[in-house]
């Protein structure tokens, strides 16, 4: 029987603390990570690199006098459906991960990370996840207000590392356009529970990061352990851990 999550969908506003949580887990020993957080040997699947690749490809095309394919010169998407293409690319990455790990006895966890904004932000993103992911997944939502997200987004920017997971940042106008609103509070009924996606109940738990705890490893570890323990209880009750 499993003692770790097969899949954790790690979501929240930009700069909420998702990347800091993953960085913390990378620095934690395998034994402690499994015991305290129910996270096995893990692989991160993040959609930011897909978006950054589109920026770079479009810049190359524009430099050679060709039409940009995905984004305008100000890096807004030309077609909002590209957000859902990112989810489909996550599905493909997960398929490759599963294929590579087939036959292994070690317990592995896929951490799927993304941020979304808009009236149906997360509901739409979840609807494009593969059935294989939905059947095994749990959701950890990092809660911060929009105002706090903007503050931390400004703070984390580091010149020369705009491409990096930990230090990429959005201009204020894009934060306002893409992320001022989201639909999490319509989907979630309290700090822990279930969200129905394609007729399947996904367990979720919230990780409160305002006031910020991700800047202090001691505070982060304690808060993350509490959220992951609650999430594990819901996941084990709604799934058959022995089947994963």
Alpha-carbon span 125 to 53, nearest angstrom? 20
For residue 155, CA distances in Å to 48, 158, 185, 213 come to 18, 8, 26, 15
Give the pLDDT confidence score for residue 162 in this predicted structure: 56
Amino acid 96: pLDDT: 97
Per-residue DSSP letter, 5: -
User: What pLDDT does residue 240 have?
Assistant: 76
Q: Which is nearest to 35 in space by CA: 214, 228, 240?
A: 228
29 is a domain residue: yes
Range 81-108 burial, b when 16+ CB lie within 10 A, else e: eebebbbebbbebbeeebeeeeeeeebb
Give residue 9's Cα distance to chain centre. 5
Residue 104 lies in a domain: no
Position 54 scores a pLDDT of: 97
Q: Please report whether residue 72 resides in a domain.
A: no
Domain that holds residue 120: 7-46+109-243
3-state secondary structure at position 37: helix
CB atoms within 10 A of CB 117: 21
Q: What is the CATH number of the domain that holds 170?
A: 3.40.50.300
Helix (H, G, I), strand (E, B) or coil at 119: coil
**Number of domains the chain contains:** 1
Structural domain contains residue 188 = yes
What pTM did the predictor assign? 0.94
Q: Does 2 fall in a domain?
A: no
**Phi then psi for 132, rounded to 5 degrees?**
-65, -40
Determine contact, residues 115/11, Cβ cutoff 8 Å.
yes
pLDDT number for residue 160: 66
Residue 19 lies in a domain: yes
Query: Are 227 and 207 in contact, with CB atoms under 8 Å apart?
Result: yes
* pLDDT tens track, the chain, 244 positions: 889 999 999 999 999 999 999 999 999 999 999 999 999 999 999 999 999 999 999 999 999 999 999 999 999 999 999 999 999 999 999 999 999 988 888 899 999 999 999 999 999 999 999 999 999 999 999 999 999 999 999 887 666 655 555 446 788 999 999 999 999 999 999 999 999 999 999 999 999 999 999 989 999 999 999 999 999 999 999 887 777 7
Q: Is 94 inside a domain boundary?
A: no
Is 115 a domain residue?
A: yes
């Amino acid at each position: 029987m499993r003692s770790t999550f097969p899949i954790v969908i790690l979501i929240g506003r930009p700069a909420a603390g998702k990347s800091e949580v993953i960085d913390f887990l990378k620095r934690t020993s395998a034994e402690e990570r499994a015991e305290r957080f129910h996270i096995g040997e893990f692989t991160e699947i993040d959609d930011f690199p897909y978006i950054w690749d589109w920026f770079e490809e479009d810049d190359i095309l524009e430099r050679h006098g060709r039409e940009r394919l995905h984004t305008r010169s100000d890096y807004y998407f030309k077609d909002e459906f590209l957000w859902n293409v990112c989810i489909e690319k996550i599905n493909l990455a997960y398929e490759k991960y599963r294929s590579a790990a087939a036959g292994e006895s070690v317990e592995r966890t896929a951490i799927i990370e993304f941020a979304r904004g808009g009236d149906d932000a997360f509901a739409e993103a979840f609807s494009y996840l593969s059935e294989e992911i939905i059947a095994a997944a749990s959701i950890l939502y990092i809660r911060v207000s929009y105002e706090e997200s903007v503050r931390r987004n400004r703070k984390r920017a580091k010149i020369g590392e705009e491409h990096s997971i930990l230090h990429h940042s959005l201009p204020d106008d894009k934060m306002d356009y893409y992320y001022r609103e989201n639909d999490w509070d319509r989907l979630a009924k309290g700090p822990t529970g279930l969200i129905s996606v394609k007729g399947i109940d996904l367990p979720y738990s919230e990780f409160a990061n305002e006031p910020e705890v991700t800047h202090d490893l001691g505070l982060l570890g304690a808060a993350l352990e509490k959220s992951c323990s609650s999430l594990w209880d819901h996941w084990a009750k709604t799934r058959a851990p022995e089947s994963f």
